[in-house]
Structure 1
């Protein structure tokens, strides 16, 4: 039976209250923290709501003050939070982090910034401490999350993070990524987080690959595909994931490549370079890219334009210190997306502005971060 659609997109997943150090340094040395919110799926919902789409975030939070804070902040972005469940027995998750979101090998030497392409030298290790075990969201399961609510959007957006939270969450993800009559378009961001899969009996990479194969639209970073599956190169990633009708491979500074299966089964391959960005912090860029691409999908735009909208929203996230940034307005983003290839190639994105080098800010400026 067809699902009853009431919003453009439903995003399912855990959000946490985030504590970011007030200054650089080890967590052991930082004297104070700024409070924010973090969560891949709610980030996508907020980005789409700010772009003018109707977005609903579904999850579970505690009845504590942190749960109140999450609901208030996400609703303030224009997201419908009316289906979020409150759990009086389990807490809302929190986490602390330094500048980077993902832990890295301290011995790794980075030749290029992943966005700007400029040399960096040695990359220091990031610290991320999650306090989410036994959280309200970790109790999500097929029995607690009604299908009619999850299928109430034109698109259902999921990420691989949810599958790592608990056995109940994994069972829910397996149910939602199994093709079934009447389900909406299912979007899945792989979001491989190695730390979340440590000390688990189940094998994270193979679980994520199986989940992705059941979805209609999949986002995956070229770097995480290499880390999770040992697969490198966009074409090789497509060969490992032939099932989704649309596969988007994010390639950092090189841009992104989309594979779209046509009626005859052959792919149309579209690649778009990313603009150069003055990076403030890398957190949230992948979620913002997904929001931009999904916005273009909801609008029925050509694939190349969807990729460019993804790049612009990612640039906005990269130029602020937190997970969320005010994206370019739809009108200004549309003008930038319509630039020819040469003009698009001159785009430079910094805190507060995006404009082609050859044009003044009055002709092609767009705010990409909150003032």
Structure 2
């Protein structure tokens, strides 16, 4: 979607100038992956309007293949407006009847799902319309050679008047599920990783994000669940939090594709999230490779002492 963020450091009702950029869970993940050197494609639909043209140009410029995106001549490109703040950013969506909400399972006839190493989906797409829900179901049911990743991305406004229990069905069909403990508490009644794992036995891996505290990974190896692995988040002087979950997903997925060990996969997610927490945009620039390498190799004490600030990574 087209995303508008304040171009002035003022309360939203006083802002007169807004900056247009790009937002949306799956496109965010695709752009982050491209920035991390992973070939990625984004499949969606935009309107035949200036916003749609701008989105395709910007996402493509980020290194993402947009060749499979549909341009809908009848429906508009969705957009949203973000009020920026370090403690939280209210978001107002304008996407009813958007081009993306018109997608359906017929889209799969143009795609080869047997080639990607990872297919990433989100609960947002499933909530846009009944046809979008059927599309997500079709992707999860289709034969695949790689992993299917599913980020719950709970948006209560989208599920108003609908049954969120469908998220259990979708998550249990994925290979990897990512969810915030606050989201899981609302949807499934628990944010505890072990209890949540008992509720979602299907995925081979479950990542539960605990906000600024860190994240926990539980995997199935040789038919049995591993002990939970917890990795604290990197401390960050936050500019604005929206988009950090998508950044975490991309960092975690990129490290998974590299075959990294569980703790470093979680740290990779935290490092990518940290870069986005430092910007008003939904996609921040990855941290410099030497900084990432140093922090991935840091012992627990050095990791805990690190903080990302205006001056870069400092130790406190």
Question: Which of the five TM-score ranges fits, normalised by the shorter chain?
Answer: over 0.9
> Which of the residues 78, 84, 97 maps onto 2:82?
97
Matched, 1:24 2:29: no
Instruction: Specify the alignment match of 2:153 in structure 1.
Output: 191
Instruction: Specify the alignment match of 1:354 in structure 2.
Output: 313
Instruction: Specify the alignment match of 2:233 in structure 1.
Output: 274
Report the secondary structure of 2:117's partner residue: strand
Q: Which runs of 5+ in 2 are unaligned?
A: none
Report the secondary structure of 2:42's partner residue: strand
CA RMSD of aligned residues (A): 1.9
Instruction: Specify the alignment match of 2:168 in structure 1.
Output: 209
Counterparts of 2:170 and 2:287, CA distance in 1: 32
Question: Cα–Cα, structure 1 residues 149 and 137, in superposed 2: closer, same or farther, change >3 Å?
Answer: farther
- Equivalences, count: 315
| TM-score computed with the length of structure 1 as normaliser | 0.80
Structure with bigger helix share is 2
Report the secondary structure of 1:81's partner residue: coil
> Which of the residues 42, 65, 73 maps onto 2:50?
65
1:112-131 alignment runs, 5 A limit: 127-131=90-94
Mapped contact 2:31–2:62 kept (Cα < 8 A)? yes
Question: Cα–Cα, structure 1 residues 96 and 343, in superposed 2: closer, same or farther, change >3 Å?
Answer: same
1:217-366 alignment runs, 5 A limit: 217-351=176-310, 353-357=312-316
Mapped contact 1:141–1:171 kept (Cα < 8 A)? yes
Counterparts of 1:99 and 1:281, CA distance in 2: 6
Once the two structures are TM-superposed, the CA of residue 97 in structure 1 deviates from its matched residue by 2.3
Report the secondary structure of 1:80's partner residue: coil
Counterparts of 2:194 and 2:156, CA distance in 1: 24
Once the two structures are TM-superposed, the CA of residue 45 in structure 1 deviates from its matched residue by 0.7
| TM-score computed with the length of structure 2 as normaliser | 0.94
Once the two structures are TM-superposed, the CA of residue 74 in structure 1 deviates from its matched residue by 0.8
Once the two structures are TM-superposed, the CA of residue 277 in structure 1 deviates from its matched residue by 0.8
Q: Which runs of 5+ in 1 are unaligned?
A: 1-15, 101-112, 114-122, 358-371
> Which of the residues 98, 103, 107 maps onto 1:140?
103
Counterparts of 1:58 and 1:296, CA distance in 2: 22
Report the secondary structure of 1:291's partner residue: helix
Counterparts of 1:187 and 1:131, CA distance in 2: 26
